[in-house]
Structure 1
Amino acid sequence: MVNYLHPGVFIQEVPSARSIQGVSTSVAAFVGLTEKGPTNVPTLLTSWNAYVRQFGSFAWSSFVSWAVYEFFLEGGTACYVVRSDPGNGKAATTTLGGTQINAASPGTWGNGICVSITNGSSTSGTAPTPVFTLQVVVDSSTVSTSSTTLSGQMMANFVIQNGLTPVAIPSTGTKTYYVLETFSGFTLANASFADRINSNSMFLRVGAVDGARPSNTGSPKPLTGGVGWDNTLPAALNTLKTVQGLSLLAVPDTAGLVTGAGISDTATQAAQINTGLQLCETLQSLFYVIDPPGGMSVQDIVSFKSGTLATNSPAINSSYGAMYYPWVWITNPLVNLRVPIPASGPVLGRYAHTDGNVGVFKSPAGVNDGAMLSVVSVAQTLSDSDQDQLNPNGIDAVRNLINYGNVIWGARTVSQDTQWTYVSVRRLFIYVEQSLKNSLQWVVFESNDQALWSSVSRDISAFLTTLWQQGGLFGASAAEAFFVICDASNNPAATRSQGYLYIDIGLAPVYPAEFVVIRISQKTAGPDSGN
C-alpha cells in the first residue's frame, strides 16, 4: 500500500483481467529440397514471389516448390521453408559448346532427359541459322507405364496427362521423342538465355554460358551423371525446434526417397514420416500433413500405413498427423502443363483457408472447405468401395465428385486411438493448449493463493466461452461445453509447498458429421387421415 504524505489527488492504475490470446493455427513449415537458398535455416515467407526470390522456381522431382506454390494459391498466407542439404546428390548435366546445362534438381531422374538445339525456323535440318530453339525431350522408347522407378512412373504419367505425342528429332530421323518444353527465339547462349531458361523451365537449369550460338545437336544430347540425394531431412526438421508460432508441417520430399535402383524406398519413407510425427509430438504444437509414396494402389497404401508393405517398414500411428491419398495434378503456370505432386501443398492451403474463415475446430474437408480449386485432377479415381478401405485405416481420400470437382473427402488422423480420430479435434486441443501456455506465463512465480486461482479461472473461462460461442465446443450452455477447476480441491497444501499450481480443464469438442444418414420411411395413410 502506498503511503501518501501530503493532501491531494493521486492516480493509481488498477490491473484489469488478463485475456487469453489465441495462437495462430495456419503458419506452415515446408521442409525439403529447393533450388537454392540457405541450408537448414527456417525462412519466413508470405508469398510465392518471396519463395522464388529466396529459393528458386519450380523444379521437377523436387516437391517443396510445388507445395509452397499450392499452399499460397489455396489460401495460405505465411509459411517457413527449410532447405535440406542434398548431401552427395548431383544433378545430371551436359554441355552445349561452352555452355553448361543441368537438371533442375539432383537425382537420377535427370539421366533420362535430353536437350535438343535446332534452327528457329522450319529449316531445322540445314546448317545453323542465327536464331535457334532449345527443347527438353525424352526418348519415347524409355517412357513406359510399366516402369518400376518413381521417376519413370512420373514421366509416363506426365506424357499421358498432357497428351504428348512422339515426334522425330531431327525431323528426318527414325527415333522419336516426347517434347517436354520448348524455348525459342535465341541468338546467343548468354545471360539472357540463362535467365529465361532458369526462370521458366521445370526440367533444366543453365550454369556457365560462353556467349556463343550453340551448334545444332542433330540427335538430342542426353544429360548424365545424376546421383540421388542423401536423406538429410532429419537435420532440417530439427531446426524447427527453435521457431515459434508454427502450427502445420509438410515434408513433401519424403515421397521422393528412392533406393539406388530408383524404386520408392517405402521403409525409409515410413521411418522419415515417423521422425516428423515424433517432432510434432515432442513440440505438441505442430500437426503433420503426410505425403505417401506415389503410384500406390489402395491396398498398397493401406499396407504402407500399417507397416506391412516392406521389410522393416514401421507402422504410422499418431494423433499429430493426417495422410492424404492419392497424389494430385496441378498446372504449372509458367508453361501450362500438368504436373503430378503429393497433396500436402493444396491440403495445407485449405487448412489455412478453413482456419481463417471458420476456425480450427472445423474439419478442412468437404465440398466447401475441402474444395481444391487449383487441382485439375487426381492421380487415381477412388470409388466408395476404395474409401471403405481407406477411411477405417485413417487415410484421408482426395476425390473427384460430380458437380463439385476435386475435394478433400476425409477428416481423420492416422491415430489408432479413438479419442483422436478426427483432425479437427486434435487441432482444437493443440490450439487451446498452446494459447493457454503462451498467455499464462504471467502466472509463474505469482503467489499461489485464492486470488491467483480466481484470476486464472476467470481468464480461462472467458477464453473458452468465446470459443464455445464461435461454435468450437459442443453444448447448449457454456457449462455443458467446458469446465475449469483451479481451487483448493486440486491444489492442496502438499502440492502448493512443492511449487505446483494445477488447472484442470475439460472440453466437449464438436465432432464432424462424417456419416450423414437420411432415414426415410413410407407413411401409410390410416382410416382417419382424411384421404
Structure 2
Amino acid sequence: MPEYLTPGVYVEETSFRSRAIEGVATSTCGMVGATQYGPVPYPADVSFPAAGGSAVPDRAKLSAGPKLVTSFTEYERLYGGLAVNGQPSQVALAARGFFANGGRRLYVQRVYHYPTTTGANPVTDVAASFASLNLPAGRPTPVLVWRARWPGSVGARIKVVVRLRRSKNILVGGRLTNVLPGAAVETAALAQGRPPEIPDTTAPVRGNVRLVVRNDGGELGYDDGAGGFIPVNPNQAAFHLNLDVEVHLADRVDAYSGTELGPRHSRSIFTVLSLEDPADEGCLVWLHQPPPTGAPSGPGDLLDALLTLRDGAYLTGGGDGSPLTGDDLQGRRPDFDNVLLAPLGLGAMETEEDIAIMAMPDTVTLPPDAQPDAVDRLIAHCERMRYRVAVVDPPKDSSVSEVRAFRSRFDTTRAALYYPWLRIIDPTRRPDPGMPPPTLDVPPSGYVAGVYARTDVARGVHKAPANETLLGVTAFVTTVTFDRQSVLNPEGVNALRFFEGRANRVWGARTMSSDPEWKYVNVRRLFNYLEASIERSTQWAVFEPNNERLWGSIRQSVEDFLLTVWRTGALMGTRAEDAYFVRCDRTTMTQNDLDNGRLICLIGVSPTYPAEFVIFRIGQWTADARR
C-alpha cells in the first residue's frame, strides 16, 4: 500500500467496478497454400549465385510471415492472381470466394517449394526461383541487379522503367541550396556568368555527376568517389538529379517518384526498393548493388546503368518451384531458440492469435493417398491452437460413397466437412462471344469460411452457419438430394444444396465428431469464443493474492460477460440463472490447490442447439370437439 510520510492531502484513484471481459473476434480466417507471388521465407542459407551475388540479409528471411488482407484487391496486390504455373490457384480462388460471401479479414501464408539440384549433394536452386535483370546487360560483372522480391514465374512479366528528372540550378553564390546530403547533382561550367540549358536526358551523364556530402564545417560539397571532399566551385552550375521508377506487372503500375541516387540519402532508391524494409510492403522488385570486383562504381556509373531502363526492360527467369507436398503445407513451427529459422506453412499460422477459422484448399491438389494425411495435420493444428475450427474439402469428383469413406477417417470436434465441390464461372478465361461462359470447379472451403464470417457478423457465433446462401456459385458439381443427404448428414458430412427459388445454400452444420455433445459446428465455435474471451481478458489475475476478494472479482467479471452473451440469444433459459452458473470459492478449491497457487473457477453454460429438424404435427378434429 502507499506510504504516507509527509503530512498533507493525498488524492488516489481507485476502481469499484469489475474488470470487463471483451469478446474475441471469431470471423478471422487463415489460409495456407501456393500463390502466384508474394511473401514467403527465403531459405536459411540462401545466396544468389549470379555475378557478384551475395547472401540475403537475415532480416529478410523473417519478413514473410502471414499477411492480413481485407479485400480480394489487397490479396491480388500481395499474392498475385488466380493461376500458379498455368493451373488454378486454389488459395486465390478460395480467398475470392471468402470475400464474396462476406469475409472481412484473411491471413494468408504462402507455401513455396524451392527446387533443388540433383546429385550427390543437392542444394537449393535459388537462381531458378527468382527473376532478375543485370545492368548493364551483357556484362559479366553487373553494376546493379534488379531482382523479383519473391520467387515465382510471374517475375518474368515484371517490367522496370527508370526516368531522370533534373531540377533548376541549385548553386547560388557558391553554395548548394535545397538539397540534402546524399543527393546526386550534375555539374556544368557557367557560360558568361549564366548556367547552361538543362542537358538532354539522353546524353551521357557519367563524367559530371557528384554526390553531395557535408563536411565538418557544415558546408555542402561533393564526394570525390574515394571518400574525399570536393568543395563547391562557384564558377559552375549544379542540377539536382531525381529518379522516377515505375514497376509494371500487367495492368498494375507501382510508381516511386523522386528517389535519390546516393545510398545515404533518406529517399535513396536503394532504401525505397530495398529487400529488408522497403517503403512499399507490396513492392514487386528490389535493387541490389553487388560488391565490386575491381574499382568501385561511381555515381555516374550507377546512373548510367539505371538510365538504360528509360524505355523499360523485363526481368528474366523465375519459376514456381516444385509441386507441393503434405510436408510443405504443414511447414515448420516457430523455433524460439533459433530466430533465423523462419516458421513455414501451418506452423507460421501459430504466430497469429486472432485466427478462428482455418482452411487449406491445396489439400485437393495432393495425390489421393496424401490428402487424408494433410487434413490430419490441419486438424492437429486446430486442436493444438484450441480456438480454431477447420473447414475441410473433400477430394475432387467424389461420389457419395467416396466422401463417406473419406469422412470415416477423421473424428474431431474442430473440423467440418462440406460436400460437394462448387462450379463457378471461370474468372481466368474470357468468354467467347455466342458461347456459354466457361466454368471452373473449385473446393468449397473458402466460400463456406466466408459464410461463417458473414453469419458471425450478422447474427453471432452461436448461430449455425447453415441455411445461408452461397454467393458467386453457378451450380454444384454433384446434386445432393433429400435421400442422399439422409445418408450423409448422420455421418457428419454437411451438404451444399440447391433449392428452387431459394438459390444455393449450406444445408448442414455438423462437425466430424462422434461425440454427440459436440455434434454441431456452432456449439463448438461458441465454446471457442467463450474460452478464448475469458482466457485473454483474465490475465490480470495471475499472481494476485489468491483470496476471497480475487474470487469475487473473477466471479463478477465472468457473470457480467455471460449475461451479455445470454442476452444475445446464445444460451438457453428464460432467466440468466437457467443459462449459466459461475462458482469460484472454497467449494471449487481445496487447501492443496491454494498451497500450490491454483485458482479454480467452475463455469457451466447451456448452449442453444440449431433446430435441425422442424416438425409440425397435424391431425383431424371435429368442429364440436373440445380441446
Question: TM-score under structure 1 normalisation?
Answer: 0.69
Q: Which amino acid aligns with 1:351?
A: Y
User: Hey, what's the Cα distance between the residues in 1 that align with 2:570 and 2:91?
Assistant: 32
Q: Give, in whole Å, the separation in 2 of the partners of 1:407 and 1:427.
A: 20
Matched, 1:518 2:545: no
Aligned to 1:321: 415
CA distance in structure 2 between the partners assigned to 1:14 and 1:192 by the alignment: 56
Contact 1:365 1:408 in 2 (8 A): yes
Deviations 1:25-84 (A, max 9, x none): 011001011011122521111111111111101113320000011111111111100111
How far apart, CA to CA, are the structure 2 residues paired with 1:528 and 1:319? Answer: 49
Paired position in structure 2 for 1:136: none
Offset from partner CA, 1:93-151 (integer Å, 9 cap, x none): xxxxxxxxxxxx999xxxxxxxxxxxxxxxxxxxxxxxxxxxxxxxxxxxxxxxxxxxx
The answer to whether the Cα contact below 8 Å between 1:33 and 1:86 also exists between their aligned partners in 2 is no
Matched, 1:353 2:454: yes
User: What SS does the corresponding residue of 1:375 show, helix, strand or coil?
Assistant: coil
Aligned to 2:106: 79
Q: Which of residues 518, 521, 526 is equivalent to 1:428? A: 526
Instruction: Describe the superposition over 1:459-506 as per-residue Cα deviations: whole angstroms up to 9, x where unpaired.
Output: 000000000000011111111111111001112211110111101111
Kindly indicate whether residue 440 of structure 2 is the aligned counterpart of residue 339 of structure 1. Answer: yes
Task: Give runs of aligned pairs for residues 57-68 of structure 1, distance below 5 A.
Answer: 57-59=81-83, 60-68=87-95
1:318–1:47 distance in 2 versus 1, CA, 3 Å: same
Structure-2 change in CA distance of 1:9 and 1:399 (3 Å)? same
Change (3 A) 1:528 1:296: closer
Residue type of the alignment partner of 2:420: P
**Where does 1:43-442 land on structure 2 (aligned, <5 Å)?**
43-59=67-83, 60-88=87-115, 195=250, 228-231=323-326, 232-235=328-331, 236-258=345-367, 265=368, 267-306=369-408, 315-333=409-427, 335=430, 337-366=438-467, 370-442=468-540
Tell me the secondary structure at the aligned position of residue 423 of structure 2. Answer: strand
1:289 is paired with a residue of what secondary structure?
strand
Q: What letter is aligned with 1:58? A: L
Aligned residues: 394
* Residue aligned with 2:370, SS: helix
Secondary structure of residue in 1 paired with 2:88: coil
Alignment partner, residue 14 of structure 1: 15
Contact 2:114 2:322 in 1 (8 A): no
CA contact (8 A) 1:324 1:397 kept: yes
- In structure 1, what is the Cα distance between the partners aligned to 2:507 and 2:11? 64
Residues 365 and 411, structure 1, Cα contact 8 Å, conserved in 2? yes
Shift of 1:317: 1.2
Q: For 1:193 and 1:331, how far apart are their aligned partners in 2?
A: 28
Letter in 2 for 1:42: P
**How far off its partner does 1:227 sit?**
6.7
- Provide the rounded CA distance (Å) in 1 between the counterparts of 2:36 and 2:24: 32
- In terms of fraction of residues, the more helix-rich structure is 1
Mean CA deviation greater in 502-511 or 331-340: 331-340
The reply on whether 1:480 has 2:572 as its aligned counterpart is no
Give distance in 1, aligned partners of 2:488 and 2:616.
23
Letter in 2 for 1:275: R
Q: Is the 8 A contact 1:324 1:344 kept in 2?
A: yes
Residues 82-91 or 425-434, more deviating:
82-91
Q: Are the counterparts in 2 of residues 26 and 352 from structure 1 also a CA contact under 8 Å?
A: yes
**Deviation, structure 1 residue 192:** 11
Work out whether residues 113 and 321 of structure 2, in 8 Å CA contact, stay in contact via their aligned partners in 1.
Answer: no
Work out the CA distance in 2 between the residues paired with 1:46 and 1:26: 12
Cα offsets for 1:221-247 (capped at 9, x unmatched): xxxx99743331010011111212111
Which amino acid letter does the alignment assign opposite residue 384 of structure 2?
T
The aligned amino acid for 1:64 is V
Q: Alpha carbons of 1:285 and 1:514: their partners in 2 closer, same or farther (altered >3 Å)? A: same
- 1:509 partnered with 2:607: yes
Q: 1:106–1:229: 8 Å Cα contact kept in structure 2?
A: no
Write the distance in 2 (CA, Å) between the matches of 1:24 and 1:226.
36
Contact 1:473 1:508 in 2 (8 A): yes
Please give the alpha-carbon distance, in whole angstroms, between the structure 2 residues aligned to 1:274 and 1:527. Answer: 61
1:245 partner amino acid: D
Larger radius of gyration: 2
The C-alpha deviation readout for 1:298-325, integer Å capped at 9, x for no partner, is 111001111xxxxxxxx11100000010
Q: Which runs of 5+ in 2 are unaligned?
A: 42-64, 117-124, 129-150, 154-245, 254-310, 312-319, 332-344, 432-437
Q: 1:357 to 1:194 in 2, by over 3 A?
A: closer
Equivalents in 2 of 1:321, 1:8: separation in Å? 61
CA distance in 1, matches of 2:363, 2:443: 10
CA distance in 2, matches of 1:381, 1:106: 38
**Aligned equivalents of 1:55, 1:192: Cα separation in 2:** 16
Q: Which structure 1 residue ranges, 5 or more long, are not aligned?
A: 92-104, 108-190, 199-210, 212-224, 259-264, 307-314
- 1:15: how far off? 5.3
Offset of residue 412 of structure 1:
0.2
Aligned residue type for 2:17: S
The alpha carbon displacement at 1:85 in A equals 1.6
Q: 1:428 to 1:528 in 2, by over 3 A?
A: closer
CA contact (8 A) 1:411 1:424 kept: yes
Q: Is the 8 A contact 1:86 1:106 kept in 2?
A: no
